[in-house]
Amino acid sequence: MNSGIFTYLRRVAFGECDPARIYYTPRAIDYCVEAIEAWWESTLSASWTDLLERRGIEVRFLRAESEFLQPLTAGQVVRVRIRVPETGQTRLSFRATGEGESGELYFRAMLTAGLVDRKRETLVAIPRDDRDRIARYEAGCAPREDVPEREGGQHPPQGRRQFPEGLFMRTLRVVYGDCLPSGTVYPPKVFGYAVEAAGEWFEEVPGISWLTLVSVRKQGAPAVAASCDYHRPMAAGQAVAMGVRVIHLGRASLGLSIEGNDPEGLPLFDLRITLCYIDQEGGFRSMPIPEEFRGRIQAYRESCGDGGG
Does a structural domain hold residue 274? yes
Domain enclosing residue 176, as ranges: 166-309
Question: 289 and 178: one domain?
Answer: yes
Question: 132 and 194: one domain?
Answer: no
Question: 183 and 133: one domain?
Answer: no
Instruction: Please provide residue 194's backbone torsions phi and psi, each rounded to the nearest 5 degrees.
Output: -70, -40
**pLDDT per position as a tens digit, 250-259:** 999 999 999 9
Contacts of 235 (CB under 8 A, 6+ apart): 174, 179, 183, 184, 185
Does a structural domain hold residue 159? no
Output the tens digit of pLDDT for each of the chain's 309 residues. Answer: 445 899 999 999 999 999 888 999 999 999 999 999 999 999 998 999 999 999 999 999 999 999 999 999 999 999 999 999 999 999 999 999 999 999 999 999 999 999 999 999 999 999 999 999 999 999 998 775 554 555 445 566 768 888 888 999 999 999 999 999 999 999 999 999 999 999 999 999 999 999 999 999 999 999 999 999 999 999 999 999 999 999 999 999 999 999 999 999 999 999 999 999 999 887 888 999 999 999 999 999 999 887 654
Q: How many domains does the chain have?
A: 2
Distance CA 44, CA 128 (A): 11
Q: Residues for the chain: how many in total?
A: 309
Question: 123 and 54: one domain?
Answer: yes
CATH classification of the domain holding 101: 3.10.129.10
Distance CA 202, CA 212 (A): 11
